[in-house]
Amino acid sequence: MTEQTISSRFYTDESCYEFDKEHIFYRTWQFVGHVSQVTNPGDFFTEKVGDESLLIAKGEDGVVRTFYNVCRHRAHAIASGTGNRKLFVCPYHAWSYRLNGALHRAPETDKTEGFCKEQISLREVRTEIKFGMIFVNLDDDAVSLAEAYPGVEEAVLAQRPGIASMKKVFERSIEHECNWKISVENYNECYHCPTVHATSITRIYETDSYTCDLSGPITKHFMARKDNRDVHGDMHSWFLWPNTIVEVFPLHNAVSLRKIMPLGVGRSVYYYSWYVPEDLSDEALKEVQAMGQEYCDTVCVEDASVVESVHAGMRSRSFDTGPLITTYRADAPERECNGAFPVALQGRPDRVSGKRSSTRSLPIIMQGVRQRPAF
C-alpha cells in the first residue's frame, strides 16, 4: 500500500497543538531576528516563541542576549516592541534591570529583610548567532546550533558571504487560517508549483530544474532562473527544521529570511523579510523592494488560498490520511516533515534536530513512527 501522511488529527487537535509547542518549539533552535536589529549597546526587540515572550538586547559588552520578557517580581512584561535602553524598567513596580539582565534597583527592597538583589536577574535564554541570524533555544540541554544544522553556515556563506552585514529593506507578516505544519509542508514541495504558481514562480524559474536535497533537519532547495528574466543567479534555499527558511534570491544578492510560527491549532503567521548589501544603490534597493512586494502579492496570496483550504479539508470527517507521492518534486520533502512530527510529538525532538544522544539520520528515524501520539 502507498505510504500515507500522518493523521489529520496532528493538524486539527488542540492537544496536538499543545504538544507542538512543548515538544517542538520549546526544544528547537528558533530564528528571532538579524544582528542589524541590535547594532548598538542598548538596542533591543521583543519576539514570541509559542506563548513565551522574549526580550533580545545587546549589552554594553557587545554581547547579544535573550531573556524571558518577564519581571522577576510579579511577572509583568519588561519591554515591548523595539528601541534602545540603558536600563529595562518594569512599568508595574519600577524594578529595573541592566542590559545583562542583572537587577539594578527594586524600590523599598532595602527595607525587606533578607532581600539580596545580587541573587536576582532576568531569566536568560540560550542564544547563538550564525551568519547574522539570531537563534534562541528554550531547551538548556539542546545541542549547539552548529550541531543541529551541520554545514548550513558554510553553504549559506558560499552563496551570500556578506549576509551578516546586510540591511533589511522589506518585511511582511501574513496570517493564515491553518495549522503551521500545513505551511511548512507546502513550502517543502514543488508538486504544486505548476498549478498554484503557474503565473508567478513559473515565470521566473524553470520548475523542471527543481531539486531537493534532504539531509536530516535540513532541506536544500534549488531552482534555475529562466534565461529571459533580468535576474542575477538561481534560487537556493535552506529549510531548517522545524520552521526557519533562508532563501537566496536572484536579484542584487538579496536574501530572504523567513519563519512560520503557530498562533493556535488553526492559525499561524508567516514572517517574510528581505535583506540586501549595505552599499546597494537606491535604484537597486527599490527593485528588491518591488520584488518583495510582487512576491507577497502573488506567491504568498496563492499559497494562502491553498493552505487555508487544506486546513478546512483536514477538519472534514471524510479525511484522515492521504497517499504520499514520493518524487523529489512532490511529497519527498513532505515525507520528511510527516516523519518528523510524530517523532517530536513523542518527546524526541533530538531525533529531528539533534541532541548529543542521537546520531541517526531523519529518514532512518522515520521508519515505524506513523502511529498517533499517545496522549
Give yes or no: residues 104 and 184 share one domain: no
Domain termination residue (choose one: 104, 138, 172) = 138
In a domain, 152, yes or no: no
Which cell numbers in the block locate residue 187? 513550502
pLDDT band at 329 (very low <50, low <70, confident <90, very high): low
Query: Within its chain, how far is the Cα of 217 from the centroid?
Result: 13
Q: Determine contact, residues 350/32, Cβ cutoff 8 Å.
A: no
* Cis bond before residue 242 (omega within 30° of 0): yes
Count of domains forming the chain: 2
CATH of the domain at 123: 2.102.10.10
355 within some domain: yes
Q: What is the pLDDT of residues 88-113, one digit of tens each?
A: 999 999 999 999 999 999 999 988 98
Going by pLDDT thresholds of 50, 70 and 90, the confidence category of residue 336 is low
More confident residue, 265 or 324: 265
Residues 281-326 have pLDDT tens digits of 999 999 999 989 998 999 999 999 999 999 999 999 999 999 988 7
Residues 9 and 114 in one domain: no
Nearest residue to 139 via CA among 20, 27, 304, 300: 27
What's residue 259's pLDDT?
A: 98
Q: Which pLDDT score is estimated for 363?
A: 30
The pLDDT value given to residue 367: 27
At position 183, the amino acid (one-letter code) is: S
Write down the pLDDT at residue 222: 82
Domain presence at residue 144: no
Q: Could you tell me if residue 294 is inside a domain? A: yes
Domain identity same for 354 and 208? yes
233 versus 335: which is more confidently predicted? 233
- Is residue 146 a part of any domain in this protein? no
Q: Are residues 217 and 276 in the same domain?
A: yes
Nearest CA to 349 out of 228, 320, 357 is that of 357
Measured from the Cβ of residue 229, the count of other Cβ atoms closer than 10 Å reads 12
Tell me if 153 is assigned to some domain: no
Confidence of residue 269 (pLDDT cuts 50, 70, 90): very high
Mean pLDDT of 9-16: 96
- Measured CA to CA, the distance from residue 374 to residue 6 in angstroms comes to 14
Asked which of 103, 138, 173 is the last residue of a domain, the reply is: 138
Let me know whether 195 and 130 are in one domain.
Answer: no
Mean pLDDT score, 120-127: 98
Q: Residue 72 falls within a domain, yes or no?
A: yes
Q: State the pTM of this model.
A: 0.88
Find the domain containing 288 and state its range. 1-28+162-369
Task: Note whether 186 and 123 are same-domain residues.
Answer: no
Same domain flag for 102 and 231: no
Residues 56 and 92 in one domain: yes
- Whether 193 and 236 share a structural domain: yes
Say if 250 falls within a structural domain: yes
Give yes or no: residues 183 and 238 share one domain.
yes
Cell numbers linked to 23: 515538544
Contact of 171 with 4, CB cutoff 8 Å: no
- HSE (side-chain half, CA atoms, 13 Å) at 169: 28
Average pLDDT over residues 226-240: 72
**Do 341 and 252 belong to one domain?**
yes
Report the candidate in 350, 273, 324 with the shortest Cα–Cα distance to residue 5: 324
Q: Residue range 50-78: average pLDDT? A: 98
Per the prediction, the chain carries an average pLDDT of: 86
Instruction: Give the pLDDT score at 201.
Output: 67
Instruction: Give Dmax (Cα) for the chain.
Output: 76
Instruction: Give the CATH number of the domain where residue 314 resides.
Output: 3.90.380.10
Between vectors from CA 124 to CA 350 and to CA 25, what angle results, nearest 5°?
Answer: 35
| 212 vs 221: CA distance, rounded Å | 5
Higher confidence at residue 117 or residue 233? 117
Same domain, 364 and 333: yes
Radius of gyration of the chain (CA): 22
